[in-house]
Amino acid sequence: MNRPVPITGLGCISAAGPGLEAGLASMFRGCRDPRPPQRFCTGHPVPYPVFELPEFLGPPSLLRTGALLLHAAREALADAGLDRDFLDTLRAGACIGTTVGSAMNDEGFCRALRAGGPPSLEPMERILRSNPAALLARQWGLDGPCQTVVNACSSGTDAVGLGASWIEAGLCDLVLAGGADELSRITCNGFISMRIAGPGPCRPFDRERDGLNLGEGAAVLVLEAPELRRRRRARARAFVLGYGSACDAYHPTAPSPDGAGLGRAISEAMAAGGIAPGQVAFVNAHGTATPDNDRVESGVLAAMLPGVPFLSTKGYTGHTLGAAGAIEAAFTVACLERGRVPACAGFQEADPGLPAPVAENSAVRGAVALSQSLAFGGNNAVLALGLGERP
Amino acid sequence: MTIAIQGIGVVGGFGCGTADLARAMALGAAPAAALRADPGPLERFVPRRSLRRLDRFARMAALAAHLALEDAGALGDDHDRLGLVVASGWGATGTTLALVDSIIEGGDVCTSPSHFAGSLHNAPASHLAILLGARGPSLSISQFGLSAPSALMAARLWLEQGRAQRVLVGAVDELSGLTGHLWDRQGELERPWGPGPRGEGAAFFLLSSRAEAREPYCLLEQAITGRGPGPEGLAPAGTSPLYGAMPAAPAFDLAAAAIRLRQGQGPERVSCLTRDQDQFGLVQIRSFRR
């Protein structure tokens, strides 16, 4: 970024907690409780655990993804001290990542269609009504650009980076950027069919890691133009210093073994922020706990940022797909503010030849951290986030 | 930075390539009730064995993308710094139906992993990156009727901010059992579908800085989305009788307008306005000769 983009509000809901502070406190206490899905059943011989929010309920007119997003956005706007009346005076945009939130895969509708129908159109209406970026724009009357990013598991990171680039380009005064995704039976079956879902609680970067746990949640970051922030004297909790993204061009669902795309994205994000490796306090890694992802990712970090502490927060939240990058960006900011990171939950023993993540709650030094995502499709996206002002 | 449209690739019910689209434009509306696209000519660019993982949806996108590169004389270029932006209103609904079918027919344990991977919105961008060796940024967007203007906005920004040297940007939508059913019952839907017969296809553009463009179609002056009806005095573009109604139609509107500009027809500057519920998308192009 030519100029750091201020982050003035954060909202986050995940299995770690219904808000950012609650989630962070839960992580530092080491709480995690993956269980078999409660809202739906699957017919697999192994009850693959997930990180679910069984108590969370949204209106039936919206996808659960949309309801999670609105929950996170309310927290972020309150944190930023913004209301709809003030938003009405701004050029405000929405840039939101998702996977499930844009998929036309309602199982009941498809079953009825296959049976000869005609099925009720309500499930399709619900999907169209819940397009995440359009939903935010409608809810808060945002009149700027509106973009739903569907870059699979890097969607949330990309959405925050793209939102920051809108501010940088002067397209908006303010952007609600983030990601949202719900647990879905179809998606659970898909990941299990690809043999990358684990049969027990996930163990990111552990030598015995055997797959991911899916999760659900949402996070929203309020990104503001520096001029607007100054005008309304808002505190910048953090800054987006840089954003990088690059494609592996290697395989539709596996990361490139050499991690070249990830390396390029890290380099781009650091160069954009003018960041030297020694300035990086920690890396909030993608860390899904799949053998391939963690091998590639920790290998790249060892080569590019040797000695820099890294962790995955997916041991507390599960892999929330399109929401993951946004949730992890929010946690990254909160950890920078505290100067501490939680233990990489699930990790016990390092993979031989690869670096170990943070094994216990630890203090970190520095004002810059990276949050990164790898995705199906070979997408790699990295945010460089800088510490903001003290309250 | 001045951005140019360097190449255009289209496949739809009218045929394959800009010459077929121009011919359809000269003839007027295509008479068919449903306008199907044929992605078969993709084998002209890619060996059949390399296409086994690509469903029909991804093949339409890949074909239009290769046609755009060919049109720009850039097929054999190094694509290391090529950015990709792929937009779709519906996504891969044919493969999504097949995925759910695999679950219904065989139970959860028979979920098809290949259909699951193909059902993801960013599958076409992934295949394109692999086929072309494109290692720049890659973005997939789903914003229903505003998907194409939104994609063009992102592509412009990447070029202006130096994130890619060139950007291949386009939109694709598929006429599947699911979208066909929705079309048949569109009178019951909250969201109107648009005029014309039902359609499908893909329209892609190779964008670069004006300085790099060899013989551009036109300059891409603006691409924005926002809330409201859009600028006063503008009516939505739309030549959908040529390629059919679909969320990706604004990309075809832009292709048609750019072809007319190159042919020296009409005004020097063209605004393509799209409205979708309470939002609008606006893409403005102008002749590069001015």
pLDDT, tens digit, for every residue of A207-249?
999 999 999 999 999 999 999 999 999 999 999 999 999 999 9
Chain B residue with Cα closest to A107: B100
The shortest C-alpha distance from A147 to chain B (Å) reads 6
Q: What share of chain B is helix, strand, coil (3-state, %, to 5)?
A: 40, 25, 35
Query: H or E element: which one contains A50?
Result: strand A50-51
pTM of the entire structure?
A: 0.97
Highest mean predicted confidence (pLDDT) among A100-109, A221-230, B235-244: A221-230
| Closest Cβ opposite residue B224 in set A145, A191, A260 | A145
Contact A1, A242 (CB under 8 A): yes
Q: What percent of chain A has pLDDT over 90?
A: 97
What is the pLDDT averaged over residues B145-156? 97
Mutate to test the interface with B, among A3, A247, A264 (most CBs of B within 10 A): A247
pLDDT value of residue A117: 77
The shortest C-alpha distance from A170 to chain B (Å) reads 11
User: Is the Cβ pair B150, A146 closer than 8 Å?
Assistant: yes
Residue B32 has pLDDT above 70, yes or no: no
| Closest Cβ opposite residue A186 in set B90, B100, B122 | B100
* Catalytic residue status for A44: no
Residue B104: how many other CB atoms lie within 10 Å:
14
Half-sphere exposure at residue B226, Cβ-oriented, CA atoms within 13 angstroms: 18
CATH number for B126? 3.40.47.10
Residue A389 has pLDDT above 60, yes or no: yes
* Catalytic residue status for A153: yes
Question: Number of folded domains in chain B?
Answer: 1
Q: What is the mean pLDDT of chain A?
A: 97
Measured CA to CA, the distance from residue A48 to residue A16 in angstroms comes to: 18
Q: What percent of chain B has pLDDT over 70?
A: 95
What is the pLDDT averaged over residues B193-220? 89
User: Is the Cβ pair A129, B190 closer than 8 Å?
Assistant: yes
Chain A residue with Cα closest to B156: A169
CATH number for A238? 3.40.47.10
| Confidence category of residue A331, pLDDT binned at 50, 70, 90 | very high
What is the pLDDT averaged over residues A315-327? 98
Measured CA to CA, the distance from residue A384 to residue A161 in angstroms comes to: 9
User: Is the Cβ pair B104, A111 closer than 8 Å?
Assistant: yes
pLDDT value of residue A179: 98
| Closest Cβ opposite residue A148 in set B99, B141, B161 | B141
Q: What is the mean pLDDT of chain B?
A: 92
Reference A162, options A227, A231, A244, A79; nearest CA is: A244
Cβ contacts of B91 on chain A, cutoff 8 Å = 102-104, 150
User: Is the Cβ pair A158, B139 closer than 8 Å?
Assistant: yes
Q: Which two tokens stand for residue B120?
A: 């993801």
Residue B28 has pLDDT above 60, yes or no: yes
User: Is the Cβ pair A146, B227 closer than 8 Å?
Assistant: yes
Q: Residue A61: which domain range? A: 5-387
Residue B34 has pLDDT above 70, yes or no: no
Distance of CA A102 to the CA centre of its chain: 16
| Closest Cβ opposite residue A114 in set B91, B101, B224 | B101
pLDDT value of residue B33: 62
Contact A144, A92 (CB under 8 A): yes
Contact A341, A361 (CB under 8 A): yes
Catalytic residue among A153, A172, A188, A344: A153
Residue A47 has pLDDT above 70, yes or no: yes
What is the pLDDT averaged over residues A103-127? 92
Residue A309: φ, ψ to 5°:
-60, 140
| Closest Cβ opposite residue B138 in set A128, A194, A247 | A247
**Strand locations in chain B (E):** 3-12, 15-16, 34-35, 82-87, 138-141, 166-173, 198-199, 201-209, 218-227, 269-276, 279-286
| Confidence category of residue B191, pLDDT binned at 50, 70, 90 | confident
Cβ contacts of A115 on chain B, cutoff 8 Å = none
Contact A92, A172 (CB under 8 A): yes
User: Is the Cβ pair B93, A117 closer than 8 Å?
Assistant: no
Cβ contacts of B100 on chain A, cutoff 8 Å = 105, 107, 110-111, 114, 186
| Confidence category of residue B277, pLDDT binned at 50, 70, 90 | confident
Reference A145, options B143, B121, B209; nearest CA is: B143
Catalytic residue among A71, A172, A286, A335: A286
What is the pLDDT averaged over residues B30-59? 90
* Greatest Cα pair distance in chain A: 62
Measured CA to CA, the distance from residue A197 to residue A207 in angstroms comes to: 16
Residue B270 has pLDDT above 70, yes or no: yes
pLDDT value of residue B142: 97
What is the pLDDT averaged over residues A84-104? 96
Q: What percent of chain A has pLDDT over 70?
A: 100
pLDDT value of residue B238: 65
pLDDT: is B100 or B197 the higher one? B100
Question: Number of folded domains in chain A?
Answer: 1
Say which range, A69-78, A110-119, B59-68, B163-172, has the weakest mean pLDDT: A110-119
| Confidence category of residue B186, pLDDT binned at 50, 70, 90 | confident
Cβ contacts of A147 on chain B, cutoff 8 Å = 141, 143, 150, 153-154, 225
What is the pLDDT averaged over residues A86-110? 95
User: Is the Cβ pair B161, A169 closer than 8 Å?
Assistant: yes
Measured CA to CA, the distance from residue A288 to residue B241 in angstroms comes to: 47
What is the pLDDT averaged over residues B200-206? 97
